[in-house]
């Protein structure tokens, strides 16, 4: 009696190993099945061994490895850039070359925008957005640690708080990095919604605060803490920064936009974000929550197919 064993790879559907024991010079082809038996024939004895390397699987694994290295290096580079940005403005503040409030707002503007502009250096892997989110996640942990006074970092506190109170880190700054994480994980490079939300929160709201403090003598009637100059600045700068970010991504091939309609949609989104920012409920809902969430909703309905 002859016993032959055949094994088929379950994923690649490829015959990768075969062992045949036969007593004939030309054994008949086996019927389909995992195990089979055939009648004996009194001739030669032969063994056949065949192994094929799963080349597609190996190539896929190599691509995954390359993407892993790329995303790891990109995360490290962005994290180093974030630390360098805060360190630079902390140094300028300590040397009294720049006021603390201005330093805080410039960090607010630049860190989020640089984060959004860094997304294209990550790979096309499905894990890329998670690697990018590591950067704001690390900053989130830092804010919680120092906000709870578990550690002391005066440079960080001076750079991102209004009055130097560590507990402030658990407010606006913490909401800020949580929005960065949300935009990366939910929208990433696949939708204009995320980058517009960051543009309005970082650029529009940040410039509004700077301009409002310097030139905002004329207050909005329904909110004496906001000025017309600040709101107009938010609309104008939020609009142009949003268009600039969208153009950046469209040049790189992530978005294909009809610019006539896009300008109208961005103007509408900027107007919604500006109105929400001017409303008198900042003591209840922080601007770093209300502005980006309002922008997300407006941009989602404006840019959906």
Q: Residue 60 domain-assigned?
A: no
Does residue 176 lie in a domain region? yes
Nearest to 123 by CA among 73, 196, 186, 184: 73
Looking at the structure of the chain, the number of domains it has is 2
Per the structure, the complete domain to which residue 217 belongs is given by: 190-304
141 with 232, same domain: the answer is no
204 and 146 in a common domain: no
- Of 188, 210, 245, the one marking the end of a domain is 188
Residue 18 lies in a domain: no
Asked if residue 23 belongs to a domain, the reply is no
Q: Please check the confidence at residue 5 and state whether its pLDDT lies above 80.
A: no
Mean pLDDT value across residues 209-222: 90
CB atoms within 10 A of CB 28: 10
Quick check: helix, strand or coil at residue 20? strand
Domain boundary among 137, 159, 188: 188
pLDDT tens-digit readout, 34-80: 444 444 544 444 444 444 555 555 555 888 899 999 999 999 999 99
| Per-residue model confidence as pLDDT tens digits over 67-115 | 999 999 999 999 999 989 988 888 888 888 888 888 888 988 999 999 9
Same domain, 76 and 184: yes
Residue 46 lies in a domain: no
Q: Cβ distance 122 to 128 under 8 Å? A: yes
Contacts of 170-174 spanning 24+ positions with Cβ under 8 A: 170/143, 170/144, 171/286, 172/286, 172/287, 172/288, 173/143, 173/288, 174/140, 174/143, 174/144, 174/147
Residue with tokens 């190539």: 59
Residues 200 and 252 occupy one common structural domain:
yes
Q: Is residue 128 part of a domain?
A: yes
For the chain, what is the mean pLDDT? Answer: 82
pTM listed for this prediction: 0.77
Residue 211 lies in a domain: yes
Residues 183 and 273 in one domain: no
For residues 148 and 217, state if they share a domain.
Answer: no
Q: Is 34 helix (H, G, I), strand (E, B) or coil?
A: coil
**Domain end among 135, 164, 188:** 188
Clarify whether residues 200 and 175 are in a common domain: no
- Say whether both 124 and 215 belong to one domain: no
Which tens digits make up the pLDDT trace of 158-197? 777 777 788 888 998 999 999 999 999 999 999 999 999 9
């Amino acid at each position: 009696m002859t016993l032959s064993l055949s094994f088929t790879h379950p994923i690649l559907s490829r015959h990768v190993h075969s062992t045949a024991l036969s007593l004939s010079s030309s054994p008949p082809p086996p019927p389909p099945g995992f195990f089979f038996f055939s009648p004996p024939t009194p001739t030669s004895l032969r063994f056949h061994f065949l192994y094929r390397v799963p080349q597609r699987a190996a190539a896929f694994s190599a691509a995954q490895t390359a993407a892993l290295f790329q995303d790891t290096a990109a995360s490290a580079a962005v994290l180093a850039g974030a630390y360098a940005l805060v360190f630079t403005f902390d140094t300028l503040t300590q040397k009294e070359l720049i006021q603390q409030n201005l330093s805080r707002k410039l960090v607010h503007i630049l860190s989020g925008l640089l984060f959004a502009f860094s997304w294209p250096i990550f790979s096309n892997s499905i894990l890329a957005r998670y690697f990018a989110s590591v950067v704001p996640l690390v900053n989130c942990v830092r804010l919680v640690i120092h906000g709870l006074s578990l550690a002391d970092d005066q440079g960080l506190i001076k750079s991102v708080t209004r009055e130097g109170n560590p507990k402030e880190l658990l407010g606006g700054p913490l909401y800020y990095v949580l929005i960065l994480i949300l935009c990366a994980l939910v929208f990433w490079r696949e939708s204009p919604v995320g980058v517009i939300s960051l543009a309005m929160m970082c650029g529009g709201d940040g410039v509004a605060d700077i301009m409002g403090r310097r030139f905002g003598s004329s207050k909005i009637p329904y909110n004496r803490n906001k000025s017309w100059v600040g709101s107009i600045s938010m609309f104008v700068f939020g609009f142009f920064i949003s268009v600039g970010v969208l153009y950046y991504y469209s040049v790189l091939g992530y978005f294909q936009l009809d610019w006539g309609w896009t300008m109208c949609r961005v103007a509408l989104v900027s107007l919604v974000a500006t109105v929400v920012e001017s409303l008198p409920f900042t003591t209840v809902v922080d601007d770093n929550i209300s502005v980006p969430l309002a922008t997300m909703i407006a941009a989602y309905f404006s840019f959906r197919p």
